[in-house]
Structures are given as C-alpha cells and as structure tokens.
Structure 1
Amino acid sequence: MATSLFLLGSFGHWYIMYWQFKSPKWIASIYPYLLAICCTWIWIKASEYGVEGFNGSMWSNRFLFFVTGVIAGSVLYPFHFGQPFTMKVVVQLGLAITIILVSII
C-alpha cells in the first residue's frame, strides 16, 4: 500500500513541479497548490504504512519515497518532454530499485 501511495504522490508532485515548463500559466493557477495539498496527505498516509511495513525503519521508508520519485520521473520526462531514456537513466533506475531490494531483505 505504501508503494502505491508514494507512487501516486510522486506522479502528482512531478506535475506540480514540471508542468509549468509545458504550460507557463500552470503555476499561476490554483491547481498545483490543490494538488500539493492532496500529495501531502497521500505522502503522510504512505509514510504511516511504510514505516509500519518496514517494522519501524524510517530509513527504508525514506528510500522507498526516493525511489518512487525516480520511477515517476523516468516515466514522465520521456513522455512529456521527449527526453531520451538513456543507459545512464537505466543504471540510475536500477540502482534506485536495488536500494529498495536491500531494504526489503
């Protein structure tokens, strides 16, 4: 559950931060701010479930939060901005996922 919520919040956060480069009026509208409130609540719940799921480990939960942000970016940068999915990105994504696997073990 924590992973799903962190992913949802990370996708929302990506739009809050980066959609302004596609639509300059975005940041002047109310939508990124409403989305920020929603993402904050989602992340609070994700942290609750994550820390519980990792038996109280704050570090593992923090790394899960980081990795879901990397995953969201790896999907949305190529999709919206046409930035290539290079070998460098593949290696970074692999390292990020490895961090979570170590936390689970």
Structure 2
Amino acid sequence: MGIDMLIPFGILIIITIYLIYSRTKFEKDIVNIYEEKFEEWKKHNPSKENEIEKKELVGLIFKEKYKLSCELLEEGLEDRIKSAKFDIKYIKREN
C-alpha cells in the first residue's frame, strides 16, 4: 500500500518542480523584456536633467547717492525692468 501512494506523490512532486521552474523562467523573461524596453525608451526620450539653466549677466545696478541706476547689456530687457518683473537676491560675503 505504501508503493500505491508513492507513485502519485512522486508525480505531484515532479509537476510542482516543473511549475516552479517554468514560473521562474517566465518571470526572468518578462524582466528581461521590460529592461530592454526601458533601455529603448531611455534612448528615445531624452531626460531634462542634463539641461541646466544658466544664469546670464544682462545688466549692472549702481547706487549713486540716493538713486539706483541700472545699466543693461541687452536692449530687449528694458520693458521687464520697467514692469518690475525680477527677483531680488542678497549675496552675503563670508569672511
């Protein structure tokens, strides 16, 4: 009677091992496919991290007695200065 139950139990173990093996192989294949698609997507979609906005010197501000004067290096910025569309940033000196 022990041999009668040993054959189905052996078949069950073999089927279980086969299913575990086929699932891990399938998961590895899926991961490889998605990694390839991700690499292809990276090639066709450039990231914005490489583009850094650079500061550009466009003018100088001088204090003459109680009046501030602004000397611009570019001509197209006068209307921005007149409409006061700029930010003020203080630069501290560290000694």
TM-score, length basis structure 2: 0.28
- Greater gyration radius: 2
The structure in which a higher percent of residues are helix is 1
Quick one: higher RCO (CA 8 Å, sep 6+), 1 or 2? 1
